[in-house]
Amino acid sequence: MFISGQKRKGVKVLKMVSIVINGKEVEVPAGSTVLQAAEMVGIDIPRFCYDPDLSPLGACRMCVVEVKGNRLLPAACVTPVFEGMEVNTESEAVIEARKTILELLVANHPLDCMTCEKMGDCKLAEYCYRYGVKESSFAGEKHQYAIDDSNPFIVRDLNKCILCGACVRACEEMTGQDNLSFLYRGFDRKATTAGDVDYIESDCVFCGQCVAVCPTGALTEKSMVGQGRRWEYGRIRTTCPFCGTGCNFDLAVKDGKIRGVLSNPEATVNGRMLCVKGRFGWDFIYNEKRLTTPLIKKDGQFVPASWDEAFDLIAERLNAIKAQYGPDAFAALSSARCTNEENYLVQKFARAAMGTNNVDHCART
């Protein structure tokens, strides 16, 4: 038996406790929450406000479980395990409680799932399906918020917000921008910007962390509106082309076209965090000013040319200049924006093909 914090061969050995989940005895590290313990043994407990990258809130109550000896149903995301604990994650009482929570949420939700951007990636829809909730017995008023599409990047439809507060915590704990918080009370409670203004009027830096953590269609990427269902996108993991941080993300591709950038939690450097450029600046790819064909300048004007014509002219002129003035009359500028492989080829081009070490890039400028 090892005690927490004790070191053995330099490795911290965690104290383990035995608990019973859904009738199965398992060993999990002391200090785990019930939700984490369940995940470790492959049991999925539904959750809205819990997010592994954010501080625990315990507000949505969707993750309630039954613990033997406890009259109440505690929230699994904030309840630590203890030796001998007996947990049931899908008891009758638990299912009843979850259904009630879902019905309460659905009572004030647009239920326009057929046109919702998040269909296929919405936790509310997923759990309603899982527990067979299709309508609510709680009839009442519904929010009629105006949709905030004031900016080019994020569509904010607070009618679909379930007040899990993930966006508020992401803004504060990931980015540290502190632009979002809960305002008002009761039915009017709202996760919104300071002063309840549109994103574009607020201190938002458009990192989109709020979009990445939102479990419903309340916050979505504007570029993806009407472009496809979430399951239709191929996700190509790649590295951001802007600054030197080296964030990874997925390009969401449908029909050979990029429609958006989605966070990839596996990203080594950044997790799900990105900035405005990485998440939303990729559309330069489809700028209509992209060059699509080689151009040759004739009488001061650029004229479209074939690759062959362009290569022939380059070969002729560079070889002539090299023959007349020597290899050092040539210089190559490579690029800190291009890949390693391209940079390798450019320096090889200058050195092996042209015979000069005149090769540099903008590291110094």
Partner 1 sequence: MTNPINEITEHAQMMLLIGTNATEAHPVIGYKMRQAARRGAKLVVCDPRHIDLVDEADYWLRLKPGTDIPLLNGLMHIIIKEGLEDKAFIEERTENYEELKEVVASYTPEYVAELTGVPVEDLYAVARLYATTDRAMIFYTLGITEHICGTRNVMSIANLAMLTGHLGRPGTGVCPMRGQNNVQGACDMGALPNVYPGYQPVNVDANREKFEKAWGVSLPAKIGLKIPEMFEAAHKGTVKAMYILGENPVLTDPNANHIKEALDNLEFLVVQELFLTETAQFADVILPAASFAECDGTFTNTERRVQRVRKAIEPIPGQANWQTICQMVTRIGYPMAYDHPHDIWKEMASLTPSMAGINYDRLEKESLQWPCPTLDHPGTPYLHAGKFTRGLGLFQPSEHIPPGEVPDQEYPYLLSTGRILFHYNVTTPYSGGISSVWDKEMAEVNPVDAEKLGIQTGSLVKVTSRRGQVTTAVRVTDRVLPGVIWMSFHYASTPTNELTSAVLDPVTGTGEYKVCAVKIEPI
User: Which residue in the set 27, 184, 245, 265 belongs to the binding site for partner 1 (CB under 8 A)?
Assistant: 245
The CA dihedral of 225, 226, 230, 233, to the nearest 10 degrees, is -100
Asked if 204 interacts with partner 1 (CB under 8 A), we say: no
Please, what is the minimum distance in Å from the beta carbon of residue 50 to partner 1?
19
Asked if 70 interacts with partner 1 (CB under 8 A), we say: no
**131 vs 349 by CB, closer to partner 1:** 349
**66 vs 148 by CB, closer to partner 1:** 148
**144 vs 301 by CB, closer to partner 1:** 301
> Residue 16: CA atoms inside 13 Å, Cβ hemisphere, count?
9
Cα separation, 348 vs 254, in Å, equals: 37
User: Which residue in the set 15, 103, 183, 349 belongs to the binding site for partner 1 (CB under 8 A)?
Assistant: 349
Asked if 12 interacts with partner 1 (CB under 8 A), we say: no
Asked if 344 interacts with partner 1 (CB under 8 A), we say: yes
**70 vs 245 by CB, closer to partner 1:** 245
User: Which residue in the set 174, 191, 213, 214 belongs to the binding site for partner 1 (CB under 8 A)?
Assistant: 174
Please, what is the minimum distance in Å from the beta carbon of residue 57 to partner 1?
18
Residues numbered 17-56 forming contacts with partner 1, rule: CB under 8 A: none
Alpha carbon distances (Å) from 59 to 123, 125, 351: 16, 19, 64
Please, what is the minimum distance in Å from the beta carbon of residue 342 to partner 1?
5
Q: What is the DSSP string of 260-323?
A: EEE--TT-TTTTT---HHHHHGGGGGG-TT---S-EEEETTEEEE--HHHHHHHHHHHHHHHHH
Residues numbered 184-203 forming contacts with partner 1, rule: CB under 8 A: 200
Asked if 359 interacts with partner 1 (CB under 8 A), we say: yes
Asked if 249 and 279 count as a contact pair (C-beta separation under 8 A), the reply is yes
C-alpha angle with apex 109: 103 to 113, nearest 5 degrees? 105
Alpha carbon distances (Å) from 157 to 89, 98, 339: 32, 24, 39
Residues numbered 102-161 forming contacts with partner 1, rule: CB under 8 A: 151-153
Burial tier of 5 (Cβ tally within 10 Å: 0-12, 13-18, 19+): exposed
**15 vs 222 by CB, closer to partner 1:** 222
Residues numbered 283-342 forming contacts with partner 1, rule: CB under 8 A: 283-285, 287, 289-297, 302, 305, 307, 310-315, 317-319, 321, 325, 327-342
DSSP letter at 148 equals B
